[in-house]
Amino acid sequence: MINEAEEGSLPDAPLPVDIAKMRLMFHDNSVLVRKFCLKFIEVANDTLSEMEVAQTEKDLPALSCLGHKLKSSARTIGALSFADLCEALEEASANNNWSDAEALLAKIPLLLKQITQQLEHEFSELSE
């Protein structure tokens, strides 16, 4: 199964989302930025559930498709490191490399949790 995300994040690690990219895309409209980012989190969590099923079934083609599905939307919100993990999962699956796919599946939930925490913090500051 996909490993559960560990609590916390590295204090000196760069932020996982370049929120400035979203602000630029939506002309600094905080409502649209928030809406789009929350939709990404929702879709990413749903896709993680699908990845867990594919991992249990050892379905590399499905994992490749799911990685591809998240890659573009992650790049759109400025979550480039997350997009890179999704692309690597897509490639590992296409290359029939199960051990690399499993290693990536251990990292993806943790990074999504960090993205979620960053965005929740960002949006809580907007509402203050």
Considering the chain, what percentage of its residues have pLDDT values greater than 70?
A: 87
**Residue/partner pairs of 18-23 with CB below 8 Å, 24 or more apart:** 18/78, 18/79, 18/80, 19/78, 19/118, 19/119, 19/122, 20/78, 21/77, 21/78, 22/77, 22/78
The model's pLDDT over 7-21, given as tens digits with 9 standing for 90+, comes to 444 445 678 999 888
Q: What is the pLDDT of residue 21?
A: 87
Domain limits, the chain: 19-127
Question: What is the tens place of the pLDDT at every residue in 91-127?
Answer: 999 999 999 999 999 999 999 999 999 999 988 866 5
CATH homologous superfamily for the domain 19-127: HPT domain (1.20.120.160)
Which is more confident, 38 or 125? Answer: 38
Contact criterion met (CB below 8 Å) for 52 and 2: yes
